[in-house]
Each structure stands twice: as C-alpha cells, then as structure tokens.
A and B are shown apart, each in its own frame.
Chain A
Amino acid sequence: DIQMTQSPSSLSASVGDRVTITCRSSQSITRYLNWYQQKPGQAPKLLIYAASTLQSGVPSRFSGSGSGTDFTLTISNLQPEDFAVYFCQQSDSTPLTFGGGTKVDIK
C-alpha cells in the first residue's frame, strides 16, 4: 500500500496569511494526487486533482504543486471560510489512500 504522510498535523494561522501543507507518498505517484477540504460535520470537498488542477468553482487562492513523492497545497490570503481540515489522497493505485489530515485553525 502507498502511505501518505501529511505535515504539519495542525497549524494556526490568521486571516490573510499564506499557508502551506505538505504531503509525501511512500513511492512515486507521478501526479496522481488530490486535495480535499473538510469542515466540521460536512463531507470532504475536492479542491485540487492531478496535483495542480483546480476543481471548478474552487477559489484561485488554492493551489497545488509537486510530482513524484512530494506535494504541496498552498492557500494564499487565508479567508475565514478556509479554516478546516485538509486531506491529500493518492489515486495512483488501489488501495486508494489518504493522508492523516492537517487542521487549519485560527491563531
């Protein structure tokens, strides 16, 4: 199985900050990497797929980069509605696996 490791597990930030979350896979997954946002009591929402493609309707302050084993989700100009948990997920091979999540809360 491909293991997905996210860091940090949590961070505190202020509105307007630039936030970076890292995801590392245990083997190369080329660009088969997706990012999701989950707010309390809600289902996850797709933000980015194929490592860097912004899902339709997602604000452009979200961006993704990376390939191979190292990936990054960046939120520029953090907004109040962005405080949530973020998960990465690999779709290179089954079992489809998720990272442990990064909780972004208010400083």
Chain B
Amino acid sequence: QVTLKESGPVWVKPTETLTLTCTVSGFSLNNARMGVSWVRQAPGKALEWLAHILSNDEKSYSESLKSRLTISKDTSKGQVVLTMTNMDPVDTGTYFCARLSGLMFGEFPRFDPWGQGTLVTVSS
C-alpha cells in the first residue's frame, strides 16, 4: 500500500522559514516512473502546485515561488523535504505531498495518491 504523510510545524511567524517533510512508504524514491510533488491549498481556494522532485534528483519549481522554495530527498529514509523561506500570512493553507506517477515515455503524469495534508498558519 502506497502512503504519504506530511509533517512539520502547524504555525510559523512571518519572515520565518517553513520546513515540511513528506514520508513515503510502499514505493521507492528511486523508482524512475515516479516522483513526489508538493501542492498547497489556501482555505477555500484552489490547488496550487509548488514543486516536484524526480528519481534522478531533477527538480522543478513554481516560477512565482522559485526564489523561496527548495525541495530535496533522502532516498534511504523515504523522505522528501520542502523548505519555503520568508513566510507570509498569504502562505497560510494546507500543504499536501503527492506521488507523481506516470512519468515514463508514453505515460500520463498524475498525482496519486496524496498525503492527508498539513495545515500551516502564518501569523505573528
């Protein structure tokens, strides 16, 4: 069974750095057909893709947040870490990690499954 679980602080102050960890099980971060993405959702709003990391360590970031984001992985631990610097109240929301599958040639990438999400509040 494939599962992903997010962990990290529930509250951060403005200007602080957020560090979130996604712990995966049921698949390897070395699997060339898969990667892990971070997606966030402000309260009552739509989903916003933030970043992903692939098995070969290739990384991709949202252009609007690129200067603030860093994604990395520890394959031995089955963990993907996202850091976001200079947090602001507008960054308040639920942060999800999700497996990005269907990455081989001829396949169709999709997010499945997702972690339960972790709500992060940015406030002084």
Which A positions have Cβ atoms within 8 angstroms of B? 1, 31-32, 34, 36, 42-46, 49-50, 53, 55, 87, 89, 91, 94-101
Known: A1-B63, A95-B63, A96-B37. A46 touches B110 (CB 8 A): yes
Q: How far is the CB of A31 from chain B (nearest CB, A)?
A: 7
Can you list 19 A-B contacts (CB < 8 A)? A32-B109, A43-B96, A43-B116, A43-B117, A44-B96, A50-B108, A87-B46, A87-B47, A89-B47, A89-B110, A91-B108, A91-B110, A94-B52, A95-B62, A96-B52, A96-B109, A98-B48, A99-B46, A101-B46
Mark interface residues in B42-81 (1 if CB within 8 Å of A CB, else 0): 0000111100100000001011000000000000000000
Within the assembled complex, what's the spacing in Å between the Cα atoms of A31 and B106?
11
Cβ-defined contact, B111 with A97, below 8 A:
no
Q: For the A-B complex with A55-B112, A87-B47 known, give 12 more contacts whose Cβ atoms are closer than 8 Å.
A: A31-B108, A32-B108, A42-B116, A46-B112, A46-B113, A49-B102, A50-B108, A89-B110, A96-B52, A98-B46, A98-B48, A98-B49
Tell whether, in the assembled complex, residue A44 and residue B114 are in contact, meaning their CB atoms are under 8 Å apart: yes
Interface centre among A43, A53, A91 (most CB of B within 10 A): A43
Contact A96–B108 (Cβ < 8 Å): no
Chain B contact residues: over half helix, strand or loop, or mixed?
strand
| B residues apposed to A, CB below 8 Å | 37, 46-49, 52, 60, 62-63, 96, 98, 102, 108-117
> Which residues of chain A are within 8 angstroms of B111 by Cβ–Cβ distance?
34, 36, 44, 46, 89
Q: Kindly list chain B residues whose C-beta atoms are within 8 Å of the C-beta of A100.
A: 46
A1 — which chain B residues lie within 8 A by C-beta? 63
Contacts of A46 in B (CB 8 A): 110-113
Among candidates B46, B47, B63, B110, residue contacting A49 with C-beta atoms closer than 8 Å: B110
A68 to B115, CA, bound (A): 30
For A33, the closest partner residue in chain B by CB is B108
Contact yes or no, A97 B109, CB < 8 A: no
Bound complex: CA A94 to CA B110 (Å): 12
Complex contacts, A97 vs chain B, CB 8 Å: 49
A45 pairs with B108, CB closer than 8 A = no
Please measure, in the bound complex, the distance between the C-alpha atom of A106 and the C-alpha atom of B52, giving whole angstroms: 36
